[in-house]
Structure 1
Amino acid sequence: MSRSRVVIVGAGFAGYRTARTLSRLTRGTTDITLLNPTDYFLYLPLLPQVAAGVLEPRRATVSLSGTLPHVRLVLGVADGIDLDRRTVRYEGPEGERGELAYDRLVLAVGSVNKLLPVPGVAEHAHGFRGLPEALYLRDHITRQMELAAIAQDPATCRARTTFVVVGAGYTGTEVAAQGQLFTDALVRRHPLRKGIQPRWMLLDLAPRVLPELDRRLSDTADRVLRTRGVDVRTRTSVKEATRDGVLLDDGDFVDTRTLIWCVGVRPDPLVGDIGRPLERGRLLVDPFLNVPGHLDVFACGDAAAVPDLYNPGQYTTMTAQHAWRQGKVAGRNVAASLGMGERRPYRHRPVGFTVDLGGVKAAANPFGIPLSGPLAGAVTRGYHLAAMPGNRVRVAADWLLDAVLPRQAVQLGLVRSWSVPLDTASPELARLPGPPREESHDHHEDT
Structure 2
Amino acid sequence: MERPRILVVGGGFAGLECARRLERKLAPTEAWITLVTPFSYQLYLPLLPHVAAGVLTPQSVAVSLRRSLCRTDVIPGGAVGVDPRAKVCVIRKITDEVIAERYDYLVIAAGSITRTFDIPGLDDYARGMKTLAEATYIRDHVIAQLDLASASLDEQERASRLQFVVVGGGYAGTETAACLQRLTTAALDRYPRLDPRLIKWHLIDIAPKLMPELGEHLGTTALKILRDRGVDVSLGVSVAEVSAETVKFTDGRVLPCRTLIWTAGVTASPLIGTLDAETVRGRIAVTAEMRVPQFDGVFALGDVAAVPDLSKGDGAVCPPTAQHAARQGKRMADNLVAALRNQPLKPYFHRDLGLVVDLGGKDAVSKPAHVEMTGVPAQLVARGYHLMAMRTNVAKTRVGVNWLINAAAGDDFVRTGFLARQPARLSDLEHTGAYLSKEEIRQYTQSLRAQSP
Q: Does 1:423 align with 2:427?
A: yes
CA distance in 1: counterparts of 2:262 and 2:213, whole angstroms = 18
Q: In the alignment, what sits opposite 1:164?
A: 165
Q: In the alignment, what sits opposite 2:258?
A: 257
Task: Note closer, same or farther for the CA distance 1:108–1:128 as it changes in structure 2 (3 Å cut).
Answer: same
Question: Per the alignment, in what secondary structure is the counterpart of residue 440 of structure 1?
Answer: coil
Structure 1 residues 236-255: aligned runs within 5 Å: 236-255=237-256
Question: Per the alignment, in what secondary structure is the counterpart of residue 369 of structure 2?
Answer: helix
Shift of 1:344: 1.2
CA distance in 1: counterparts of 2:221 and 2:117, whole angstroms = 29
Q: Check the 8 A contact 2:8/2:107 in 1, yes or no.
A: yes
CA distance in 1: counterparts of 2:347 and 2:289, whole angstroms = 4
Shift of 1:197: 4.2
Structure 1 residues 35-434: aligned runs within 5 Å: 35-194=36-195, 196-310=197-311, 311-339=313-341, 343-390=345-392, 391-416=395-420, 418=422, 420-424=424-428, 427=430
CA distance in 1: counterparts of 2:232 and 2:328, whole angstroms = 37
Shift of 1:419: 5.6
Shift of 1:47: 0.5
TM-score by length of 1: 0.93
Moved more, 305-314 or 372-381: 305-314
Question: Per the alignment, in what secondary structure is the counterpart of residue 165 of structure 1?
Answer: strand
Moved more, 359-368 or 266-275: 266-275
Q: Check the 8 A contact 1:135/1:415 in 2, yes or no.
A: no
CA distance in 1: counterparts of 2:258 and 2:436, whole angstroms = 31
Moved more, 23-32 or 40-49: 23-32
Question: Per the alignment, in what secondary structure is the counterpart of residue 127 of structure 2?
Answer: coil
CA distance in 2: counterparts of 1:223 and 1:215, whole angstroms = 12
Larger relative contact order, structure 1 or 2 (CA cutoff 8 Å, min sep 6): 1
Question: Per the alignment, in what secondary structure is the counterpart of residue 88 of structure 1?
Answer: strand
Shift of 1:86: 1.0
Deviations 1:188-217 (A, max 9, x none): 111234453421000001112113332222
Task: Note closer, same or farther for the CA distance 1:195–1:58 as it changes in structure 2 (3 Å cut).
Answer: closer
Question: Per the alignment, in what secondary structure is the counterpart of residue 32 of structure 1?
Answer: strand
Shift of 1:417: 6.3
CA distance in 1: counterparts of 2:86 and 2:93, whole angstroms = 21
Task: Note closer, same or farther for the CA distance 1:193–1:61 as it changes in structure 2 (3 Å cut).
Answer: closer
Identity %: 41
Shift of 1:438: 4.6
AA at the equivalent of 2:119:
V
TM-score by length of 2: 0.92
Q: Check the 8 A contact 2:188/2:194 in 1, yes or no.
A: no
CA distance in 2: counterparts of 1:309 and 1:441, whole angstroms = 34
CA distance in 1: counterparts of 2:27 and 2:381, whole angstroms = 35
Q: In the alignment, what sits opposite 1:440?
A: 435
Consecutive unaligned residues of structure 2, counting only runs of 5 or more, are 438-453
AA at the equivalent of 1:157:
R
Q: In the alignment, what sits opposite 1:434?
A: none
Task: Note closer, same or farther for the CA distance 1:196–1:75 as it changes in structure 2 (3 Å cut).
Answer: same
Shift of 1:113: 1.1
CA distance in 1: counterparts of 2:204 and 2:195, whole angstroms = 27
Deviations 1:27-47 (A, max 9, x none): 433210000011110000010
CA distance in 1: counterparts of 2:271 and 2:368, whole angstroms = 35
CA distance in 1: counterparts of 2:207 and 2:421, whole angstroms = 29
Q: Check the 8 A contact 1:132/1:415 in 2, yes or no.
A: no
Shift of 1:386: 0.2
CA distance in 2: counterparts of 1:230 and 1:41, whole angstroms = 32
Task: Note closer, same or farther for the CA distance 1:46–1:441 as it changes in structure 2 (3 Å cut).
Answer: farther
Q: In the alignment, what sits opposite 2:443?
A: none
Q: In the alignment, what sits opposite 1:18?
A: 18
Task: Note closer, same or farther for the CA distance 1:115–1:417 as it changes in structure 2 (3 Å cut).
Answer: farther
Shift of 1:220: 2.0
Q: Check the 8 A contact 1:149/1:190 in 2, yes or no.
A: yes
Q: Check the 8 A contact 1:7/1:105 in 2, yes or no.
A: yes
Moved more, 276-285 or 371-380: 276-285
AA at the equivalent of 2:298:
V
Task: Note closer, same or farther for the CA distance 1:357–1:195 as it changes in structure 2 (3 Å cut).
Answer: closer
Q: Check the 8 A contact 1:32/1:72 in 2, yes or no.
A: yes
CA distance in 2: counterparts of 1:190 and 1:119, whole angstroms = 34
CA distance in 2: counterparts of 1:98 and 1:215, whole angstroms = 51
Task: Note closer, same or farther for the CA distance 1:316–1:345 as it changes in structure 2 (3 Å cut).
Answer: same
AA at the equivalent of 1:283:
I
Question: Per the alignment, in what secondary structure is the counterpart of residue 107 of structure 2?
Answer: strand
Moved more, 59-68 or 154-163: 154-163
Shift of 1:95: 1.2
Q: In the alignment, what sits opposite 1:9?
A: 9
Q: Check the 8 A contact 1:247/1:253 in 2, yes or no.
A: yes
Question: Per the alignment, in what secondary structure is the counterpart of residue 353 of structure 1?
Answer: strand
Displaced runs of 4 or more, over 6 A: none
Q: Check the 8 A contact 1:81/1:274 in 2, yes or no.
A: yes
Q: Check the 8 A contact 2:175/2:358 in 1, yes or no.
A: yes
Q: As a proportion of its length, which structure holds more helix?
A: 2
Shift of 1:279: 1.1
AA at the equivalent of 2:399:
V
Question: Per the alignment, in what secondary structure is the counterpart of residue 271 of structure 2?
Answer: helix
Q: Check the 8 A contact 1:122/1:421 in 2, yes or no.
A: yes
